[in-house]
Structure 1
Amino acid sequence: MDFPQALRERRTRRRLSQLELADRAGTTQRHLSFIETGRSTPGRDLVVRLAESLELPLRERNDLLLSAGFAPAYPGGALDGPELAPVLDALGNILTGHLPWPAVVVDRYGELVAANAAFGLLTEGVPAELLGPAANVYRVALHPQGLAPRIGNFAEWAQHVLTGLRREAERHPDERLDALHAELRSYLPDRAPAAAPLGFAVPLELHSRHGLLRLITTVTTFATATDVTLAELKLEAFLPADRATSTILSGLGGARRQGRRAGGADPESEGNSFSNIAHEFDST
């Protein structure tokens, strides 16, 4: 795709007029019109300003620069490289600090980068083939052999997961996201989600050997990241949605701490198959 078409497509996707985008980028509507029809060739600085004004993710900004004939502006460090090591260490501390509640770090496709010890409680009984390297947390959640049989409100929770994934694909089109959405959609039951009020947030109602867990999630991203890899990471933290869940997880956290002091087994990491993830943080 050439630059004029790429720019026009991204502007249209964000429902911006030429005048609105030109005003944001510090140029004129006439100049922008000439650029989109190929009658004018923008300089590198203007391409960067246009990408910023469109609020494109860093990966797309690099793609737009390439389509205009310029080198990418934003690096993409390896997760196991020295550039990102300090940030990953900090994320590891956050994962540990979130205990006894579960938490994970995933990439833009939902592939697991790291998990704290409490996350093993959620994945108990999930077969190893779903939890190996490059495990996808969305697939683990909705696959018939994953968490699905233990989710009491599966239709509602699955719709919540798919809605988030669809919105991501609409904002940042990606064939891989589309394929993942289609796969996960095939796991949903035919019946529509219940119309009953869901409360202040859609909970994950998960049956475990310790009792019913009702959890809500928060998602944290790096809003000011200038590295493509870092910008695409998400920290998803689970929080108890009721006192019963809080009591169960707090009790397991206390047992875990006692077990560590006594040199015994860690009840929260029991059955946790994420230890073979190449980039997993040492959160135990």
Structure 2
Amino acid sequence: MISLEGVSKSYGSKKAVDAVSLQANHKEILVLLGISGCGKTTTLKMINRLIEADTGTILIDGKNIKDQKPEHLRQSIGFVMQHSGLFPHYTVEQNIAITPNLLKWEKKKITDRTHELLEKLHLPESILKQYPNELSGGQQQRVGIARALIADTPVLLMDEPFGALDTITKQAIHNEFKNLDELKNKTTILVTHDVIEAFELGQRICLMDNGKIIQIGSPTEILYNPENEFVKDFFATNRLMLEHKIVSLKAIESFLKSPISAGAQQLVNKKSNVWEALQTLSIQNKYAEDYDVILHAFNHYRKLQAV
């Protein structure tokens, strides 16, 4: 759906992005991950021409973005930025309606779609007449997502969308974001420096450093088959938690020393990852034995994957 071929961007003598080539597949979430200054945000902004590439080609659905006017291109791409990027002098309702108004939607269509998104993002209708500075950080970010989703574009770009939120709020929005129906029909590229966020939201991860791509792969591939020591070291601090999050109960099923109880099976399913299962079972003491069985199986599994 999105293809970058040999794309570069320099500022003076410094190459912010150095001959980057990547593909974001149809209806997938691709995460650009790396520390500040690695080139991930510059790469993202070149896709909607907020920054113009010096060299290389960027295609969206097979069409060169240079063949379109930037304003027309951006109307076909949802964009969410850090700190929500809401216009402070517009109400929530006006912020959400910006793109539909540019596309000359009928007022009823805008209203209906706005209310639909408010419900999906767990926002009360009472905020529509409020201004961004009257909202909490979590509400502002949800409104920013609603604004990006309202036109139902095939492409969604997200630049550190949850970076300014506290951990609890961020986790709640992650869960809501992952369950949005709209995402199933979009190709999404998300920029973050947060390793946990990348593994929770990304179907594939593109790790960048010094303007170059170091490795692209699924969370499992990038963790268990690192391209080099840089990749291995990058995830070392969070490795155990990341493994808990990428390994499903189904993956460790053959390592269970005994079946988990019927009660535990009702609380978790094979599609759950080990992290979710252990979190759920830890709440109730009566499942302590099931907790230990799952943990033992996971430890056995991960030893075989160790690099």
When normalised by structure 1's length, the TM-score is 0.25
TM-score normalised to structure 2 length: 0.24
More strand by share: 2
